[in-house]
Amino acid sequence: MQGLFLKAIKGHDHEALMVILRKCPAHTDATLALSDTCRLQDDTNASKELLERLLFVMERNLHPRCSIGSGKNRFDYNRPENRPLFGGLFRYCQLSARRGCWRTALEQAKLLLSLDPIRDPLASVLLIPLYAVRCGAFSELIEMEQELAHRNVSSMPNWCLAISLAYIYLDKVDLAQKRMEECLKNFPGLLIRLLNAIQAEPGPEIASSEFFNSDEGTRKLLYQLICEREVDLWKETKAQQVLTAAAESIVALNLPASKNKFNKEWVNPSLLS
């Protein structure tokens, strides 16, 4: 049966996938592949139903002592039989986010991370900050940053912005500005793009600053992705005030133009999908 599946994938034969599922409804690879096909054809309901079927089948086949929600179970992504669980949960997490179920998406992203927290093959750690801010889990996000210190999440631009937003919503403006200053020092090219995204005019000192207008090459795509996803969060008055105050504070330091290098860990499937 797996040979028929591989042949169907190589030939892009969707009908063959349906035949496989009729003969073997619990074939996880075919279920996941057909779900992707439905998603690409904008058939969200069918894609969702197939993902739910996949996750149900995978859960039913777990060891009786395996409590998937405890966060203590580990799965090896390098084993082919485990990959449909990772892929199905990752896609279902993104589907929940598209439907505006931010808390559900956050819990699913945390579950996905718990399956392999060290290697994190699908970079689920990059999903957590946006989902946490949108569902209002501000204190929880700050705690998670400390728990994930081994992943060095404080050096990731989307985490830096999310932590600053969390402090803003918790009315801790001083801490929010401090974290924003750290973020802009490490990622100066992000400021102008974020201001353009929220349709805010930078002040003359910021607009003429070599530090904030330095060309950072490959980081441009990363900044564009972040701005597109978080633009509405920074349109609020408090957020703009913190952003402007942090930028003005850095301008006063008269720092040289940035020459930071691109870190491939900042872009992963969760940002590109």
pLDDT digit string (tens) for the chain, length 273 residues: 778 887 887 888 888 888 888 888 888 888 999 999 888 888 889 999 999 999 999 888 888 888 777 778 899 999 988 999 999 999 999 999 999 999 999 999 999 999 999 899 999 999 999 999 999 999 999 999 999 998 899 889 999 999 999 999 999 999 999 999 999 998 888 888 899 898 888 888 888 888 887 766 778 888 888 888 888 999 988 999 999 999 999 888 877 766 555 455 545 544 444
Residue 207 has what pLDDT?
83
Residue 259 has what pLDDT?
56
Residue 13 has what pLDDT?
82
* Residue extents of the structural domains in the chain: 1-122, 123-273
Non-local (6+) Cβ contacts of 95 within 8 A are 44, 47, 48, 51
Query: Widest CA span of the chain, in angstroms?
Result: 69
Residue 271 has what pLDDT?
46
Question: For residues 37, 42, 48 and 54, what is the CA-based torsion angle, rounded to 10 degrees?
Answer: 0
- CATH code reported for the domain at 1-122: 1.25.40.10
